[in-house]
Structures are given as structure tokens and as C-alpha cells.
Structure 1
């Protein structure tokens, strides 16, 4: 008989559900419902929920736990930190990436063209691309901090890649980042990454403004 998932697996299952939009900011998470959905006993579910609350991915609403949301200031703070950490990762990748890691990044840029017009799939590919840059930095402490930042990104209800024309632009920016890394141009790699994140942030702010105005 197969064993049930452990606490770490329960955590990953819930985090993934939030990340893909199965649970959105403001949604209430109930132990019994999660246990049934994921086929996990309530104890690891409870431990996973406590861990997510500690990481501020969940918040209390009375006695209930709900998926947290980010206000404008929190969103700006998150992007400031993300921009600087991602730029540092690109700089270090230009310095330390192996030839094989650069080839993987180049292949990702080419392969991800197939996801144009499919925002959810492109969003997942985008996360893989950025994580590959993190790994290519060869700095475990930076990777850990970026993992924390990207967990918080799961609280964003939509992807900026859903905006019209943003998917093509984002992949073009990815190409520029990889070209700089391949050329071992640390300054250009860092600046290309900063520009990429800045454009994504502007797009997200426009999407949020349109949503607040009832335009989307």
C-alpha cells in the first residue's frame, strides 16, 4: 500500500494550488477539504498550513486561514527586492555559469516560443527560466532568498504575461539577458534583468488599475 504524502509534500501541494490559481487571494482554506482534495491526512495539512502562515502566504480571518493578498505598497516592496536579487543572480550567472547552463538557457528561450498565446503555460516556463538563472549564479544563499521571493509571487492573482503583447516582449527580454550572460557581460546581464522586471511591474500595475476600474 502506498504511503500518504509527508508534510513537505502537503506544503508543496497547497503552494502549487495557490500558484496556479486554484486558490486565490481571499479564499478560505479548510483542513478537511484540503485533506480530501490531495489525499493527505489532516496532520500534515495542518502543519503545512502553519508553515504557510508563518511565511505570510496565509493570513487569519477570525478563526479561518485565507490566502493572503498584497496591497499596492507590499507589491512595490516585493518588486524592489525581486529586482535587485534577480539582477545580482544575472550578474553572478554571467560570471559563473557553465557552458552547459548557458546552453540550457538558450534552449529555454527558443523552446518557450511555443507557449505564446498561452499565459498560464508561459508563466510556468517563465518561472523555470528565472530559476535556471538563479541556479547558474552558483550562490546557494541567493537562491534561497529568491525562492522566498518567488513564493510570495504566488499571491498575485494574475500573470503580467496575460497582457496583450507582453508575452512576445518578455521572451525578447529573456533573449537579451541570455546573450549578456553568454558574453560574460556582468553589467549588461544585471541591467537587462532589471529592465525585464521593471517592465513586468509596469504591466502588472496597469492590469491592476484596469481591474480596479472594471475594465477587465
Structure 2
């Protein structure tokens, strides 16, 4: 199925092709994605309405999150992700748990590549969302993770964070496998809290690490 202009632009932002502050030009996007300018224009308007894009004079740029917005986003993310983990502990099929366990093992191969590890991290969290077997929660988490694309750094780029994050992933999956809803939710909240803390330290540093 061919992707529409909105999906193509959103994926480009999510994959770091366009980063916070980058200017999006209608004609350049149309040429890059091989679509006409009308659907691109409509997609840009939609993304602006969703606060994924912001105005800089007459130009549209990829939006960025200030400190307060980031903190608010992490509060919501922690609560929704914890709920997803608890529901996964209750509803996940054995096959889904095995896939999560395999992901943790495979992701150890990316410890020296923060960009690849960040992609793997998204897949892991998405799998937990799906294992919750709650379509409305999955929809809300999709919105949250869309906004996460507006963060210019990945906490996984911090020294030693990759190994720690995978250990946290393992604790989450073990709790889900055990069917312990409380432990799964708690482990997920710890994971998000540590990620937020690491991100704040990165942003406070002299240089920002590429997402």
C-alpha cells in the first residue's frame, strides 16, 4: 500500500531525517517523496494543527519541545506505558512474550550504535503496546510517541545508558512473563523515569547528542 504524504513526512521526522528546527519546504518535499504539492500542502497543514510543525515567520519548521513540554510528555508517557505493561502481563500470549524476550537479546547487538538501538527501543515499546490488547491505549501511545520525535536527543546515546536500558527492558519482560501486573507497571515506570533523567542530563551538557 502506497503511503500518503502525511505518513511520509511524519516518518521522516520520526527517523531523524528532519530534526527540530529544520525548515520544511513544500516543493522540496514533493520532489523528495515523488508526490504532487497539493497533498504535501495538506499534510503540512495537518502536522501544524497537531503541533508537529511550528511557524517561523512565513516558514514551517519541525517543532521542538521546551523543558516544561518535555516534562509533561514524560508524565503522560510513564502512566500510559505502565498501563500497557500491566495489561500485557494480563493479556499477552506466550508467543508475544517470547518475541519480547528475543528482542531484548537481539538488541544487545546494537549497544555500540545508539541510532540503531533507539530504533530497536521503539520496536520494543511498540510490541508492549500491542501486547496490551487495548486498541484505544495503543492509539494514545501512538500520539505520545509521535511527539517524542520532537526531542532532539536520544537518552540511549549517554555513556552506559544502553546496557542499563536493556537490563530495564529485561525486568519489564520478566514481569510480563510472570503475569505480575504491578511489577510490570512499576518496572516500566522506572525505565521511563531513568530515560527522562538521562535526557535531562544530556540536554544540560555543553553539546547535544544527535538523535
Q: TM-score range by the shorter chain?
A: over 0.9
The separation in 1 between residues aligned to 2:200 and 2:10, in whole angstroms, is 24
Q: Which moved more, 1:11-20 or 1:161-170?
A: 11-20
Partner of 1:80: 75
| Distance apart, 1:88 and its partner CA | 0.3
Match of 2:193 in 1: 198
Distance 2:108 2:7 in 1: 28
Matched, 1:30 2:15: no
Aligned to 1:147: 142
Q: How far did residue 15 of structure 1 move? A: 1.4
Stretches of structure 2 that go unaligned for 5 or more consecutive residues are: none
Q: Which residue of 2 aligns with 1:69?
A: 64
Partner-residue secondary structure (3-state), 1:37: helix
Matched residues, number: 209
Quote the residue 1:59 is aligned against: 54
After superposition, what is the alpha-carbon deviation per residue over 1:74-113, rounded to whole angstroms, capped at 9, x for unaligned? 0000000000000000000000001111111011111111
Alignment match of 2:103 (pick from 99, 108, 128)? 108
Q: Please state whether the residue corresponding to 2:4 is helix, strand or coil.
A: helix
The reply to whether residue 123 of structure 1 matches residue 149 of structure 2 is: no
Q: Which runs of 4+ in 1 moved over 3 A?
A: none
Structure 1: gaps spanning 5 or more residues: none
Partner of 1:171: 166
What do residues 57-82 of structure 1 show as CA deviations (whole Å, max 9, x unaligned)? Answer: 00112221111010000000000000
What corresponds to 1:138 in structure 2? Answer: 133
> The residue matched to 1:195 in structure 2 has which SS?
helix
User: What's the TM-score once normalised by structure 1's chain length?
Assistant: 0.93
> Is 2:43 the counterpart of 1:45?
no
SS in 1 for 2:17: coil
RMSD, aligned CA: 1.4
Deviation of residue 150 (structure 1)?
0.1
Matches within 5 A, 1:88-99: 88-99=83-94
Q: For residue 215 of structure 1, report the CA deviation from its aligned partner.
A: 8.1
Deviations 1:90-137 (A, max 9, x none): 000000001111111011111111111101111010000000000000
Quote how far apart the aligned CAs of 1:37 are. 1.2
The 1:186–1:118 alpha-carbon spacing in structure 2 relative to 1, beyond 3 Å, is: same
